[in-house]
Each structure stands twice: as structure tokens, then as C-alpha cells.
Amino acid sequence: MYIRFKIINRLNGNNIGTFTRRTNTGITHVEENITDYQFPPFLRINGKVNCRKIIEGDEKEIAKANKYMKFNQPKRITEEEYIAKTNDCNNFFNCFGYDAYPVTEEERAFPLAFSILTFKDADQTERLLRSIYRPQNFYCIHIDKSSSEVLHNALRKIANCLSNVFIVSKIEDVIYNHVSRLRADINCMTDLLSKSNKWKYFINLPHQQFPLKTNLEIVKILKIYNGANDIEGITNRLLSHRFKYSYRYINNTLKRTGLKKGKLPYNANIVKGSAYGIFSREFVQYVINDEKAKAVLKYMEDFVSPDEYFWATLNHNEVLKAPGRFTGNPEKKSWLAVYASWRQTDRCHGKFVREICIFGVGDLNELASRKELFANKFYADFQYLAMDCLEEYIHNKTFSPLPFDSFYYRQLPFIRKS
């Protein structure tokens, strides 16, 4: 982030100002003003707009940001620049700020595991990684087999510089609506289980999401979950045309065969949901090792978008006995893994692509108040100040932690009571 901060400020003609850094010297804290430093504890990414005002919903500042983006292209880091920067891992680690964030004992005692699925943009992928990076966590990156060689090289070199980040051992050629998307996550799950027996929860992310909470906030929320999964469940809009018949990928197209599907194994009911969720470690172990989970996966391999049915079906069928499952009506519970804005029901100040909002700066006021842990989605080359300002917001909130309001999360119907 510091590299980006420095590059953007220089390209914008801004001087890097003076910051106050606190260093722990035992009982006392020493404050010193510095102008030459590795990484700012409090960050302002762009000196031409005020992200704080934008997040507060200031219409004049939002209009100013939109005008600025109209005449100024985003300043991005190329794959080749990442390859060059990672020739010296210590320099990369320090300059990009991977060692800069405070880590509490509570976070150290509750490590997390993440997967990031990407097919382009080392820049946006690395920004997401950095925003969720902590040394006690574990990170699996899945790069589409068909992606460019330079992207593979850049992300491999980044992973080689970070001991708790790795590229998945089995890479899929991910095809839209195909089971390969689901397999990519399962491959990361398998690797993460073998990497460590310490992490408590697994979160799967595409590279176009961004966090709405700090790592400490995520830890506090997941401790309240107490082993429960946070998986979307939909029973009244199943889109049954996706699974009544078997589908096969023929000549680069997913086509329906004449083979009608039989009953789901174990007399379970099909439930729809999102491809993304928050999964307890025990649930991940169940997905990889349990015969019931394997049978459901086999049954769903020829669905359209099986990733939107597999997790939801496992989590919302008592007969399947998945750890952390929900036994009530899934339509009556919240789903907080990811917030997305849909054309038919929600606001969007960016643009809609495939019915989902690509967030703009005008959406940040709402995003900052959401209870979800992540937001989907952002484009680094569209309304780029939206992600810049959200990055600044999360960074600065990490360094100025306020008391955590746990009341909302403690009332959720799916959490497991101690």
C-alpha cells in the first residue's frame, strides 16, 4: 500500500506529509514526527479528494471525485513491476506494508484461512491480499490455468515472498457456470487443511471483492459464530432449469443433454445460494472427507453453476449432518459473508454488469455501514477511487480501533450458542 501511496502522490504532484508514528517502548509510548518512513500508520491515498468526506456521503466531494476520475486515469502496478519488486523479498515485504499492521493476541489465537480466485489483474489481486493479510493467517491463491504467463509469474513471486501465502497445488481451467469454479475452491480447501491445523474458519473470495471489516472485526464476528457456517440459503427461487437435466460442456458452450437428473442422494433437498461463504474448519474437513459430501458433489457436477448449490445444500439439510449447519428456514436468516447490489432490488452508483453492481464512489457511504464482511464487486479500472477510498478506510480503521459493537451479530439466528 505504501508503494501505491507513494506512486500516486508523486504522479499527482503531492508532497508526502508528516505523520505521527507510535512505537511501543515498554510502559510508555513515544510519538515522533517523521517525513521519511516505510509505511504510514494513517493513510491518505489520494491528495486530490477527501475519502473521509466521500464515505460520509458528502455530495460535493463525491461529485469532485467523479470529475477527477473523468480526467485522470488510475495509477496501477503492472505484473512486470511486481516481478521486479519481488526480486528482493525483504524490500517487497517492507515497502508494501505486509509487516505494518498491528496484530492483537485475540487475532493470533484465532487464525483464518482464505482462498483468492483470480484470472487477471495482479494489481487488484495483490491489493485484496494485502488488505486481509496477517502473519498468523493462511492464503491460497488460485490462478486460472488459461490466464497469462506473466500473471502466473507475478503472483507466484509474490507468494514466494510470503511464507503463509501459496499458489494452489492443482490449478483448474475455470469455465463460467461450470464445476471447475467449485473445484478451484475445493482444491484450495484441501491444501489449506494440509498447511495448518490451527486456522478456525475458511473464507473464499474472488479477486474483485474487498473487505468491509478489519481482520480484528472479522475475528470477533467469527468467534460469535462459534463454529456455525455463514452460507446463503434460498428455497423459493431455485432456478430448477439449471439442474433438472444434466449439462455438458461441448464446443465451448454448456449444453443441456437429454438426460434427466434423478433424486439428490440421501433424499436431501436442493438449496440454492452463493458461491461464496464463511465455512468453519470442521465444515471444510467434512467437504473434503465425508462420503455424503462427496456424493452430493458427484451428483451436482453436471449442474449449471454447481457452486451456487453445493455449499447451500450441504449447510441446509439436516440429513447430510454437515458441521455448523443451519436447521431452520434458510429464507429467514441473514447472510453476511458478502454484500452485493442487484439491479432489481438495490441501489448502485456505479454500473451494472450481469445484473450486479460494480460499485462507485457514491456507494461508499452505504458500504461503510453494512454488516457484511466483504463487498462484491469492484473494477480497478472503473470508478477506481471507490476501491482506493475503501482501502484507505479499512487501513485507517485498523490503526484506530473503536469498541466493537457485537449486539447485532449476537442476535443472528444461525450462530451456535455457547
For β-strands 278-280 and 201-206, DSSP reports them as antiparallel
Amino acid 371: pLDDT? 98
Closest CA relative to residue 129, chosen from 194, 82, 184: 82
Fill in the DSSP letter of residue 227. T
- Provide the grid cell at 207: 479477486
CA distance 54 to 5: 18
pLDDT, position 98? 92
Element (H, E) at 22: strand 19-25
Determine how β-strand 112-118 pairs with β-strand 138-143: parallel
Query: Per the structure block, which three cell numbers stand in for 374?
Result: 466483504
Per annotation, catalytic residue among 61, 172, 232, 308 = 308
CA 43 from centre of chain: 21
CB burial string 375-408: b at 16+ within 10 A, e below? bbbbbbebbbbbbbbbbbbbbbebeeeeeeeeee
308 catalytic residue (yes or no): yes
**What single-letter DSSP state applies at residue 417?**
P
Q: What residues of the chain score a pLDDT lower than 70?
A: 1-41
What pTM, to 2 d.p., does this model score?
Answer: 0.90
Predicted pLDDT of residue 32: 30
Cβ proximity of 287 and 186 under 8 Å: yes
The radius of gyration of the chain from alpha carbons, rounded to an integer in Å, stands at: 22
pLDDT score of 214: 97
The beta strand positions in 251-290, using DSSP E, are: 253-260, 278-280
